[in-house]
Amino acid sequence: MLAIARDLFRYNREFALGVALLAVVGGVAALSLVSPYPPNLTYVVPPDVPPSWPYLLGTNSRGQDVFWQLSFAIRNTLAFGLMVALVSRMLALVIGLVAGYLGGWVDRVLMSINDTFLVVPLFPILVLFYFVMRDSMTWALLALVMAGLGWAYDARLIRSLAMSLRTREFTETSVFSGMSVGRILAEEHFPYVLPIVFSTTLNNINWAIGLEVTLAVLGFTDINTPTIGGMIFWANQHTAMVAGIWWWIAFPVALVVATFIGFFLVAIAMNEYIDPRSRLMRTGA
């Protein structure tokens, strides 16, 4: 595993760049643990100070240090993405593996539902969800709902892999040796789909963060938990761009863009690594 990472780092520029970006993002998130200010207090520093020492990224109109605010925000945003990705991964794995292995009518039913979830427009539904929940809308609830809506694409991918695994000899051997379906899927097939699941997880994190930022910017989430979208929401509420407080908007946007590109590049590098054809092309064979 370490050797793979080292090789990828050496031969794959996208991977190296992606990891570097994510390291910066992760570093900023980790710094929130040593923040001198609690995240929700306002007017702890002089407002509207441009980037300078000791306020590295300036301060906002609510009297918060943009750097420390940013470190809390990116931590929550990352945690949100991870949580959505983990829960939706479980759904995608179970549905994809079962549909691919069992085939027949189970497959048809599951994939019809799957294709429906691919097609249903999520944003209006999430907005409606916020509309009826209002103040009872919590961070964890939103993550669960999004996980419940965001598994379809990967379930289809996993299913297509599981279908080919079913015809392999080792599957027949396990069937004849009396393994239960659950154990075959968990112990025999699961390791085979793991690499592709890892790469789609990264894309799923991006998808979740993107939607969360969008909802938060509109004020359609729990605005008291600092997130990247929440920061932009407050900046817009204080018309930061018109007032010339550009650092309140530019730094969160830059950091979240680095997050998106970082995850995406690592996912692409993983995909390329999984597909031996493109690996050969890279080495020029």
Binding stretches for another protein (CB under 8 A): 14, 112-113, 115-125, 127-134, 136, 153, 203, 206, 209-211, 213-214, 217-218, 220, 232, 241-242, 249, 253, 256-257, 260-261, 263-265, 268, 277-278, 281
The answer, yes or no, to whether the previous bond of 54 is cis (omega within 30 of 0) is yes
Q: Name the token pair of 108.
A: 């048809």
Q: Taking the complex as a whole, how short is the minimal distance between the CB of residue 32 and another protein, in angstroms?
A: 22
- Look at phi and psi of residue 17 and say left if phi exceeds 0, alpha if psi is from -120 to 50, else beta: alpha
Q: Which is nearer to another protein, 133 or 175 (CB)?
A: 133
Q: Which is nearer to another protein, 30 or 257 (CB)?
A: 257
- Asked if residues 137 and 130 have their Cβ atoms less than 8 Å apart, the reply is yes
Q: Taking the complex as a whole, how short is the minimal distance between the CB of residue 179 and another protein, in angstroms?
A: 31
Q: Which is nearer to another protein, 163 or 175 (CB)?
A: 163
Q: Taking the complex as a whole, how short is the minimal distance between the CB of residue 160 and another protein, in angstroms?
A: 13
Q: Taking the complex as a whole, how short is the minimal distance between the CB of residue 269 and another protein, in angstroms?
A: 11
Q: Which is nearer to another protein, 174 or 206 (CB)?
A: 206
Q: Taking the complex as a whole, how short is the minimal distance between the CB of residue 47 and another protein, in angstroms?
A: 21
- Asked if residues 172 and 109 have their Cβ atoms less than 8 Å apart, the reply is no
Q: Which is nearer to another protein, 171 or 238 (CB)?
A: 238
Q: Taking the complex as a whole, how short is the minimal distance between the CB of residue 206 and another protein, in angstroms?
A: 5
Q: Which of 174, 154, 182 is nearest to 98 (CA)?
A: 182
Q: Which is nearer to another protein, 7 or 115 (CB)?
A: 115
Q: Which is nearer to another protein, 82 or 261 (CB)?
A: 261
Q: Name the token pair of 207.
A: 């998808």
- Asked if residues 68 and 35 have their Cβ atoms less than 8 Å apart, the reply is yes
Q: Taking the complex as a whole, how short is the minimal distance between the CB of residue 87 and another protein, in angstroms?
A: 18
> In sequence order, what are the residues at sequence separation of 6 or more whose Cβ sits closer than 8 angstroms to the Cβ of residue 268?
14, 18
The answer, yes or no, to whether the previous bond of 36 is cis (omega within 30 of 0) is no
Give the Cα separation of 251 and 229 in Å (integer): 12
Sign of CA dihedral 140, 207, 76, 214: negative
How far is Cα of residue 167 from the mean position of the Cα atoms in its chain? 33
